[in-house]
A and B are shown apart, each in its own frame.
Chain A
């Protein structure tokens, strides 16, 4: 049980650090709250949906920005979608970059857009890694027979 409690502590610390560093926000907590017996894998499901969606969007964005004539409207709608989905899972930093991204889109600033794309990618990969680590921890806890501690 010591291992379990250590894992639990680790999980809590990790989650707290995610909140503190701004990777996640309140929305993620809400997601976690929504998870219950009827939907035991809800968070993982939603987050993996987010991953799929994000990969697709990032690809779209990259191709859209590589065009000779950049369709900023399209880029903007992609970014908007990305912003919506990231904010829905509480990936705060991605959302913030998306806000900047949209500003550049409005200005039709290609350099800014490309820079933001890189930033968004970066943030996305960061948050993905973090979340994956988090889920791994969760799994470990579950495997060890412990329960996942709820964050308040």
Chain B
């Protein structure tokens, strides 16, 4: 339908154009343009439609969309086009109507008024000649009548003339009377009197030479008596024309007269009869009444009006004479000429029969025939206009004129012109006449018609101009509109496309999120199956190697998969950082522990150097922070073959901008722009910052690896980029790691970049904007340790670690000595301690090491930190070395730094020798603090003991030496700790107590294996009150898998009986005590009402948690795991208790994990329970608890 309309509209437009196209050249170009437009529209329409057929062949969604958009655009284009046309056509119609109406009204009114005027004019024009005619007739009649009356009078007077003389006298009188009349009327042509006896007297004016003549005939031929017979019949006979004509013998005389006086001026001449004028005879008055007729004479070329009247003899009642008067109609013609000259057109008078009496033209009115001049018909007139007019009238009315004899015709086409024709009828009794007026229309209407034509032309051209301008305006205006519409349609289609694209990208991320589960599951299955295979004992070495290779590959693949999924998650914006408090230092140190093992193989030292001003607890996403550093460090390890990797961290409080040492200064120098930006940010967020208490944490990862080319400093953070493509072959990796790092850093409000470094390797700097809890007091180590007079000997292999530690110790006011190898250590030790023993004997001089006085020895605390790597472990020399160190055992506290692969025998040996303070590599600040606090504590205790009675050394000896038979020191220990409770601060009391409790608990399991008891003993001995913020980092002990959970009390909340059973058995097999509850409510209750244990000493204090750990199923009746956890955490609020809760769930998505962690759970296990994973999770959690002990 729409298309048809379109086509129709187009055709309309076309025809419109065709009708217009003939007008003007610019018009033609416009038409051409419009035509081109239409053609293109038609083309596009065709284009638009032909693919429709093709489209059905290949169903491409995108193309369809495109098509859809196209049609949208086109349809809008069409609608605009049609609207444009419609507006133009309407404008055209409007203007045309206006023009026509204007023209019509102006024309009609002028025409009617003009017509009325013209009619009056014509009537007037015609009336005047007719009136003239009428007056001529009247005057003729009057004169005739006067002549008759005078004649009657004269004849009566001279009645009965007796003689000739009498008669002559009568004639003389008649002549005088007649002359008087003739002379008084100039217009008269002639007056004739014919007497009964045939005598004729006539006066005649010849208009050709303006002469006047007197005419008479020979009187002698007439008898006086004869014709005056009373016999009518004879008289009648006598009057007939034959008589007169027969009287041919009569001689006519003419004598010229003076026109004014009437005096005879010439000789009378006899004239031939054909020179005679018309003499009215008796025949013209047959009934004695006046008669009229039109006559012609050869003297004038105009018709003459002659009137005749008889002169009666009153007494006898007979006619005595006939008077005839002829008047020329010339004057009427003259008047007409004048009128026509002034106006224009033609006037003529005819008799009723059509004889032409007078015209306004100069053409002759008479025809000369052989018999003399004759009247002519109007249709024969020599004037063409009169002739054609007469013919036209004859044709229109024939011989029967209309009854009133008046004709008014306004459109008579005579020749090439249009005339008005009007006729009037003058109804005289004897001589009816018709007057005809022919006026050319041009004369009256010429100007009007011209004006009307001009007006019409102007109007038409003006309207055409307006139309053109209007059309152009409409075109221009709608062009903008159509463009806007087009743009709008395009915008809409773009929006549509964008929405689609977004939706599809959404689908993609959704798909990836779904795929994560689907991808990880088979991978987990593969890895699990491989584990099973590996544990198979009947494998050959080759098979084993292959399988472990496969396993490595699959773990790598899984890691890669996780990376990709992370990236996709970040890109899809699904990555949500959680906000939870966590201990940054602890996380990083854990990371350091993890990587140190890896580094050891590489001969690379991993050092963590966090400044003291770092807030202990920050708010953020710990997992993601750890991921950042794990990626960075693993990256560094990958490219570093020897040297060190340092992770430095320091804090910059945006509010105070405190000096943070050299690094911070460097930082400012290095990243000035950064700094500015930050400052701006700070200013903006000052108020919000104050509430949030945000801090900027700076980190740098410094390695001595192969380094990165400066040109690649930016691009390494792009996805799938590696600094040197060739390294992929060497080191492997996908290049996703740094990309994830940067994304995460940015997400945490920070930035990361590679920074120029002196020397080989890479230096990456980053900062994170993390929140801190509002009031976190910074610890002042300086105050804490300086007054204890600590002295530390650092005998460490790793130079970097040693340097950093000694620097830090120096800063907090602890005196240090460095040693990097055994010999140096012995040297230092000897210098330090030997002189004090033999002060009297030996004088020691040493620039580096000053000898210490006995007094000083007493008050200061010596700590000797020895790396196990310093001992010569390849041979048995290490035992000798230990023996050497034993000398100093009494004066100094030894702390051993163990490797992850330090053999059990060495540890045992150290234990046996009483070296109980052992930490794992790498050694870093918090471990150092632990060591120092342990040393201080011991010193304090020993000092107190010394005061209480007994030698401090002795006591210490006992304390330490007696530690191997753990069964015996039960009471001693409790005594020891109870004594200690008195001297340490109250807040430390509970910790000591609880640890002592664990000692007791542990002692209950006396049937433990050797290793276990050793651990137990270690725990008992190493336990020292620690400040709450510190995490105890214990030496990792080899744990037998079977009884690794010995003594741990676990609350299992699980509703499924099967799982209850399975988990219980599993845990019990590991040696744990399990309490099973069926739902969340019971779990909460179980925590609140602990079963009575053997803890009598603690009744006064707050109850320690009855369970070391809770395994919590997430979906349970009554109260699910999340709710239960929340309830437990609420109950714990305000106390410093924190019972670790491990979630058990069949959900496997990380969002569930997030949810679990969000409600306050500490870890997350998926069903089915993997025994090893569960045990390791439980162990790691329990170890984290300062008040629990395994």
Contact = CB atoms under 8 A, between A and B. Distances in A.
Given A80-B1146, A84-B1167, A34 B1058 contact: no
A83 interface: yes
A39 B1065 contact: yes
A42 B1066 CA distance: 11
A15 interface: no
Interface size class of B (residues with CB under 8 A): 20 to 34
B1069 interface: yes
B1065 A88 contact: no
B1169 interface: yes
A111 interface: no
B1059 A88 contact: yes
Given A34-B1069, A88-B1168, A81 B1115 contact: yes
A87 B1056 contact: no
B1061 A152 contact: no
A46 interface: yes
Contacts of A26: 528, 532
Contacts of A45: 1061
Nearest to B1114: A80
B422 interface: no
B515 to A, nearest CB: 14
Contacts of A77: 1115
Contacts of A90: 1168
Interface residues of A, number: 25
Nearest to A79: B1146
Contacts of A14: none
Main secondary structure of the interface of B (DSSP, over half): helix
Nearest to A36: B1069
Contact of A84 (B528, B1069, B1146, B1171): B1146
A16 to B, nearest CB: 13
B1055 interface: yes
A114 interface: no
Contact of B1146 (A31, A50, A87): A87
A104 B1056 CA distance: 23
B1062 A53 contact: no
A80 B1115 contact: yes
B202 to A, nearest CB: 145
A87 B1062 contact: no
Nearest to A103: B514
Given A34-B1065, A42-B1065, A49 B1057 contact: yes
Contacts of A52: 1057
A82 to B, nearest CB: 9
A65 interface: no
Interface string B18-37: 00000000000000000000
A46 B1146 contact: no
Contacts of B1058: 46, 49-50, 53, 85, 88-89
Contacts of B1065: 34, 39, 42
Contact of B1169 (A39, A53, A85, A88): A88
B845 interface: no
Contacts of A152: 532, 535-536
Contact of B1062 (A31, A81, A83): A31
A140 interface: no
A119 to B, nearest CB: 18
A73 B241 CA distance: 153
A33 B1055 CA distance: 23
Candidate in B528, B535, B1062 with the most chain A CB atoms within 10 angstroms: B1062
Contacts of B1061: 42, 45-46, 49
Contacts of A49: 1057-1058, 1061
Interface in B1014-1060: 1055-1059
Contact of A53 (B528, B1056, B1066): B1056
Contacts of A87: 1146, 1167-1168
A84 B1056 contact: yes
Contacts of B1059: 84-85, 88
Contacts of A36: 1069
A83 B1146 contact: yes
A80 B1146 CA distance: 7
A42 B1065 CA distance: 9
A29 B882 CA distance: 48
Contacts of A85: 1056-1059
A39 B1067 CA distance: 13
A52 B1065 CA distance: 19
Interface string B1154-1173: 00000000000001110100
B1115 A88 contact: no
Interface string A20-54: 00000011001100101001001001100110110
Contact of A88 (B536, B1055, B1069, B1167): B1167
A1 B351 CA distance: 172
Contacts of A50: 1058
Interface string B1107-1122: 0000001010000000
Contacts of B528: 26
Interface string A88-103: 1110000000000000
Contacts of A34: 1062, 1065-1066, 1069
Given A26-B532, A27-B1168, A80-B1115, A88 B1066 contact: no
A89 B536 CA distance: 22
Contacts of A80: 1115, 1146
B1056 A46 contact: no
A28 B115 CA distance: 126
Candidate in B1065, B1167, B1168 with the most chain A CB atoms within 10 angstroms: B1168
A46 B1066 CA distance: 13
Candidate in A52, A77, A87 with the most chain B CB atoms within 10 angstroms: A87
Interface string B373-402: 000000000000000000000000000000
B1050 to A, nearest CB: 16
A36 B1068 CA distance: 12
Candidate in B536, B1115, B1167 with the most chain A CB atoms within 10 angstroms: B1167
B1041 to A, nearest CB: 12
Contacts of B1115: 77, 80-81, 84
A88 B1065 CA distance: 13
A46 B1167 contact: no
B24 to A, nearest CB: 73
A22 to B, nearest CB: 11
A88 B532 contact: no
Contacts of A31: 1062
Nearest to A29: B532
Candidate in A30, A45, A88 with the most chain B CB atoms within 10 angstroms: A88
A90 B1066 CA distance: 15
A30 B1061 CA distance: 13
A81 B1116 CA distance: 9
Contacts of A30: 1066, 1168, 1171
B982 to A, nearest CB: 45
Contacts of B536: 152
Contacts of A81: 1055-1056, 1115
A29 B528 CA distance: 13
13 contacts: A30-B1066, A34-B1066, A42-B1065, A46-B1062, A52-B1057, A53-B1056, A84-B1056, A85-B1059, A87-B1168, A88-B1056, A88-B1062, A88-B1168, A89-B1058
Q: Name the 8 nearest CB pairs between A and B, nearest first.
A: A27-B1168, A87-B1168, A84-B1146, A85-B1058, A85-B1056, A34-B1065, A49-B1057, A88-B1059
Given A83-B1167, A85-B1059, A89-B1062, 12 more contacts: A26-B532, A27-B1168, A31-B1062, A42-B1061, A46-B1061, A53-B1056, A81-B1115, A84-B1059, A85-B1058, A87-B1168, A88-B1056, A88-B1169
Interface of A: 26-27, 30-31, 34, 36, 39, 42, 45-46, 49-50, 52-53, 77, 80-81, 83-85, 87-90, 152
Interface of B: 528, 532, 535-536, 1055-1059, 1061-1062, 1065-1066, 1069, 1113, 1115, 1146, 1167-1169, 1171
